[in-house]
Structure 1
Amino acid sequence: MSEKTVHCFVRGRVQGVSFRVHTLKAAQQLGLTGWVRNLSDGRVEMKVRGDDERVDRLLDWLPKGVPSGLVDSLETDTIASEAFEGFAILPDGGG
């Protein structure tokens, strides 16, 4: 089983719509680790680690998984492996 870590930026109507909470629940259900946070420029940033297939399932879910959200673009980059303890919502960051 192969694992990967992905760094993502999500743009669109993704703040004020419980995007992070829905993403947290979806990641936990898939057994993934990492974090998600709002950025000051209106985007959401996320790092997620886990089985390749499960990470891909979360990334496929993002554009349609939050009922009141609207994803305009999703930038992803596979990065060097990072270890995370569970999946968390982090405090807002720069951007």
Structure 2
Amino acid sequence: MKINKQIKINGKVQGVFFRKSTLEKAITLGINGWVRNESDGSVLVEMEGNPSAIAEMENWLGIGPPLAKVDFLEITEGNEKGHQQFLIIN
């Protein structure tokens, strides 16, 4: 069973390799979806995978890469969309 979540990461999360680090972590965990910068300075992630991998990714997103400072996450559960890989999108 796969689950889908969309997570908006707020804080100092742009210009700190957040998207690249998220891509690498997602691939390691076998998660599909995408990550992008938002115009308000946040980063948005949509991800699908098994519940334990999604939980681990959610925990990681709450911390982020070393140069990031995550203030809070906004989490929305969604319907599976059948993503086949994980991408950085603009």
Give the TM-score of the pair, scaled to structure 2: 0.96
Structure 1 residue runs of 5 or longer lacking an equivalent are none
Name the CA distance, whole Å, in 1 between partners of 2:63 and 2:78.
24
Where do 1:1-95 residues align within 5 Å? 2-91=1-90
- Cα distance, 1:25 vs. partner? 0.2
Name the CA distance, whole Å, in 1 between partners of 2:9 and 2:57.
13
- Cα distance, 1:80 vs. partner? 1.0
Aligned partner of residue 77 in structure 2, secondary structure? strand
Aligned-pair identity (%): 36
Structure 2 residue runs of 5 or longer lacking an equivalent are none
After TM superposition, the structure 1 stretch with the greater mean CA deviation from structure 2, 27-36 or 61-70, is: 61-70
- Cα distance, 1:82 vs. partner? 0.9
Q: Which runs of 4+ in 1 moved over 4 A?
A: none
CA deviations on 1:5-50 (whole Å, 9 max, x unpaired) are 0011010000000000000000000000000000011010110000
Provide the aligned C-alpha RMSD in A: 0.8
Q: Which amino acid aligns with 1:15?
A: Q
- Cα distance, 1:77 vs. partner? 1.0
